[in-house]
A and B are shown apart, each in its own frame.
Chain A
Amino acid sequence: MPLEILLVLVIGGILAITALLHLSGRSRVRELTQQTARSEWMRHAPDDVIVDVTIAHDMRSALVRTEAGIGLLWSFGADTVARHLQDFDRINHPEGFRIRFHDFGTPNALVRLDEFERPHWQNLMDTA
């Protein structure tokens, strides 16, 4: 196949599918509840025993306290990603905290917190 036709097909195809998915509402981010945060954490870390779950007001992050320590669960598109807070940096961000994981495949997560949540989350993370 001529290269120019292949390029048009590939670029045009990606753009068309992207537009279709976005315009049909497939860019919505997963919202967490107490129940879904618990079930999602257990999906990621089935050996854990959850003590309690704190969900951010925007419902996109949850701090999960387990018997093995504390962890962060956050919305990742329509799904979630979870990490135990063991090797991380917490960086202040105008909207809350940015958590850096020192992991090339999971570089960071933005946790959006209001002024009331921020000290509480900071306190919980400091106990990690």
Chain B
Amino acid sequence: MTDQLSFPDAVQWAVPFFIAAILVEFLWIAVKGKGGRYETRDAVTSLVMGAGNIASGFLLGFIAYGFFMWLWQITPLDLGTSIPVIILCFVLDDLRYYWVHRFGHRIRWVWASHVNHHSSQHYNLTTALRQTWTYTFTFMMVVRAPLILLGFHPAMVLFVGGLNLIYQFWIHTEAIGKMPRWFEAVMNTPSHHRAHHGRNARYLDCNYAGVFIIWDKIFGTFVPEQENDRVDYGLVHNIGTFNPLRVAFHEWVGIWRDATQPGLSPRERLAYCFAPPGYSHDGSRQNSEQIKARHLARHPEDRGTPGFEQFEAKSHNTKAKQA
């Protein structure tokens, strides 16, 4: 079994490309007068979050790597490092990304780490770099365990994960409208990912894909960007700070305050930690389903359109039962 295997840290090597691409996108927007917006403090916050993400990798990366190497010691399987194996690893790791990302929006403990990526009201290439500092504390590294137990070397798994993140960089832009139809059908694109970053009721909890949008189509979470519902970027309750420390930790502080308030049952305390974002024991907040339902109450004409299909199905079921 191969213990010592070396792959380049793709994300670090991509840093010069990130900087150059941001400059190109900014100049494009400045010259064309369309294709996105830049704001100084928003962009600086995103860039500092990106730098902090790399730093947190240096400081805490050993925890996940140690866990992966332990798994590698106990698995009897070794698929090697041939090109087909690397490609297969990339595809399966993208499936892993889809589920981790979905958990990141549906489990508050994981959302606390991921929320900062959605905290900008802008959508440009700097937003791509607004990354978490606290991923290690979500323990989502366990979702990679099956890959390693199947015989993919940890270094290879981390390498393809880096490629996945690099792919996702370029889709954080309004400068690109739609890609060719065949590409939009298979791959994650700026259009699909713009919808994912929307705070509009229609776009909540959709398009979790990293590289291949097919996962969303398979698991029923795909919502195409609509021309008649322009994406409004940010959080349902936008935060009012550019301070990177507050951006990185605000949801963790929120969990602490909610779960430790007096008079709650143990079940309610756990729900504040692990239920979908928007949970409250007294009904004072709204989760994404409730936000969608409220939207449909105001805009019944949207019932059954992309992003609201589940309500159409429910009303059909209700009518069928009544019949």
Contact = CB atoms under 8 A, between A and B. Distances in A.
Interface of A: 1, 6, 9-11, 13-14, 16-18, 20-22, 24, 26-27, 43-44, 46-47, 74, 76-79, 81-83, 101, 104-107, 109
Interface stretch (B69-77, B247-255, B312-320): B247-255
Contacts of B232: 43
Given A14-B47, A24-B30, A104-B250, A78 B42 contact: yes
> What 4 A-B pairs have minimum CB-CB distances, sorted nearest first?
A105-B250, A106-B240, A105-B239, A81-B240
B33 to A, nearest CB: 13
B294 A27 contact: no
Q: Which of B40, B238, B249, B251 is most buried by chain A, counting CB atoms within 10 A of its CB?
A: B40
Given A27-B41, A105-B239, A105-B250, A20 B47 contact: no
Given A1-B9, A14-B47, A109-B240, A26 B38 contact: yes
B311 interface: no
Interface residues on B, range: 35 or more
Given A26-B39, A106-B239, A17 B30 contact: no
Contact of A17 (B12, B19, B240): B19
Contacts of A101: 240
Contacts of B238: 44, 76, 79, 81-82
A47 to B, nearest CB: 6
Contacts of A106: 239-241
Contacts of B149: none
Interface string B217-250: 0000000000000001010011111100011011
A14 B122 CA distance: 17
A92 B43 CA distance: 31
A46 B30 contact: no
A16 B250 CA distance: 28
A17 B39 contact: no
Contact of B40 (A18, A44, A46, A83): A18
B142 to A, nearest CB: 28
A contact patch SS: mixed
Nearest to B19: A13
Interface of B: 9, 12-13, 15-16, 18-19, 22-23, 26, 30, 37-44, 47-48, 51, 54, 121-122, 126, 232, 234, 237-242, 246-247, 249-251, 253-254, 294-295, 298
A88 to B, nearest CB: 12
Nearest to B50: A10
Contact of A107 (B38, B44, B241): B241
17 contacts: A1-B12, A1-B15, A6-B15, A10-B51, A13-B15, A13-B19, A13-B47, A17-B23, A17-B47, A18-B44, A46-B294, A76-B121, A78-B122, A79-B238, A105-B247, A106-B240, A106-B241
Contact of A10 (B15, B39, B44, B295): B15
B223 to A, nearest CB: 19
Contacts of B51: 10-11, 14
